């Protein structure tokens, strides 16, 4: 059974977007995964197809209504569907490689793309939406965040990457940032490929790459480095 993604959005025409190109696009064409984008507004009940209303208690902006979004989620969820329901949200748990791997090993996901000031809390609770964040910043909506999540997941699906080792030594897979990479030409603008990488001694090369990964992580991501030192890597 292939990975099945269902997107709920006010802008379903944004999909597949970049997910229709490169690795994800080729995998989509082969049927390694499927993508369905559904219009939340189809579940509006008035002639203006309204989906939002003013926030209870006052304040700026508008809030996506619970009844309309719940109807959209229910319509997209067949009986017995066990896929997790995700809400792309800046207040959600940060997406990490461990969560990506878990999703890639599952049947797919139903992904809600929020808009406006947010989503009525009651639909989050009654429809068991897991809030997921792709970073500490705010986007205009959840569509781009959903694309980020799906791109990260799809590349881990069986057969998507030609060389299975390609993903084994990338940043976050071992709890460390990735080591530097080099290729031809050997000399470029006064800089040469580190001699050890052309030595043919694979044990020394592995040690060098590990040391470089550790140093980069220590300098650039002290949070990851602390987790690495304490054995609490969850990536």
Q: Which domain CATH number covers 194? A: 1.10.1270.20
Average pLDDT estimate for 14-28: 97
pLDDT of residue 184: 94
**Which residues partner with 7 through β-bridges?**
37, 111
- Please check whether residue 201 lies inside any domain of the structure: yes
- Average pLDDT on 34-44 reads 98
Q: Is residue 159 part of a domain?
A: no
pLDDT of residue 164: 57
d(C-alpha 217, C-alpha 212), whole Å: 9
* Residue 1: pLDDT over 80: no
- pLDDT value for 166: 55
Number of independent structural domains in the chain: 2
Using DSSP, state whether 28 is helix, strand or coil. helix
Q: Which two tokens stand for residue 208?
A: 């060098």
Structural domain including 213 reads 169-230
The tens digit of pLDDT for each residue in 72-106 reads 999 999 999 999 999 999 999 999 999 999 999 99
Select from 154, 178, 203 the last residue of a domain: 154
Burial code (b: 16+ CB inside 10 Å, e: under 16) for 104-131 equals beeebbbbbbbbbebbbeebbeebebeb
- pLDDT for 174 equals 80
Pair 118, 219 in one domain: no
Say which residues have a Cβ less than 8 Å from residue 177's Cβ, sequence separation at least 6. 171, 213, 216, 217, 220, 221, 224
CB atoms within 10 A of CB 212: 16
Q: Which two tokens stand for residue 172?
A: 């976050």
Residue 235 has pLDDT above 50, yes or no: no
CB-count exposure of residue 18 (10 Å: 0-12, 13-18, 19+): middle
> Among 12-21, 99-108, 143-152, 223-232, where is mean pLDDT lowest?
223-232
Is 25 part of a structural domain of the chain? yes
Condensed to tens digits (0 to 9), the pLDDT of residues 166-214 reads: 555 566 778 899 999 999 999 999 999 999 999 999 999 999 999 999 9
Whether 89 and 143 share a structural domain:
yes
Contact 210, 178 (CB under 8 A): no
Residue after which a domain boundary falls, among 100, 124, 154:
154
Residue 234 has pLDDT above 60, yes or no: no
For residues 31 and 59, state if they share a domain: yes
Q: Where residue 66 falls among pLDDT bands split at 50, 70, 90?
A: very high
Q: Identify the pLDDT of residue 173.
A: 77
Contact 127, 70 (CB under 8 A): yes
Question: Residue 65 above 80 pLDDT?
Answer: yes
- The per-residue pLDDT for 85 is 98
Q: Where are the beta strands (DSSP E) in the chain?
A: 3-9, 33-39, 52-53, 63-64, 85-94, 108-113, 118-119, 130-133, 187-188, 191-192
Length of the chain, please?
Answer: 235
Q: What is the overall mean pLDDT for the chain?
A: 93
């Amino acid at each position: 059974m292939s990975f099945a993604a269902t997107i709920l959005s006010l802008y379903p025409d944004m999909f597949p977007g970049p997910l229709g190109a490169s690795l994800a696009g080729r995998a989509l064409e082969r049927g390694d995964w499927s993508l369905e984008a559904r219009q939340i507004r189809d579940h509006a009940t008035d002639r203006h197809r309204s989906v939002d209303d003013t926030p209870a208690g006052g304040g700026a902006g508008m809030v996506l209504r619970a009844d309309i979004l719940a109807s959209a989620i229910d319509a997209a969820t067949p009986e017995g569907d066990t896929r997790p329901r995700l809400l792309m949200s800046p207040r959600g748990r940060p997406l990490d490689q461990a969560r990506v791997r878990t999703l890639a090993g599952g049947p797919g996901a139903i992904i809600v793309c929020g808009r406006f000031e947010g989503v009525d809390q009651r639909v989050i609770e009654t429809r068991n939406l897991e809030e997921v964040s792709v970073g500490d910043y705010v986007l205009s909506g959840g569509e781009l965040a959903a694309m980020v999540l799906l791109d990260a997941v799809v590349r881990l699906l069986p057969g998507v990457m030609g060389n299975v080792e390609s993903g084994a030594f990338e940043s976050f897979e071992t709890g460390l940032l990735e080591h530097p990479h080099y290729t031809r030409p050997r000399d470029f603008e006064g800089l040469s490929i580190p001699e050890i990488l052309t030595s043919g001694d694979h044990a020394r090369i592995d040690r060098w790459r590990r040391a470089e990964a550790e140093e980069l992580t220590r300098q650039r991501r002290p949070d990851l480095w602390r987790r690495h030192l304490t054995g609490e890597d969850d990536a």
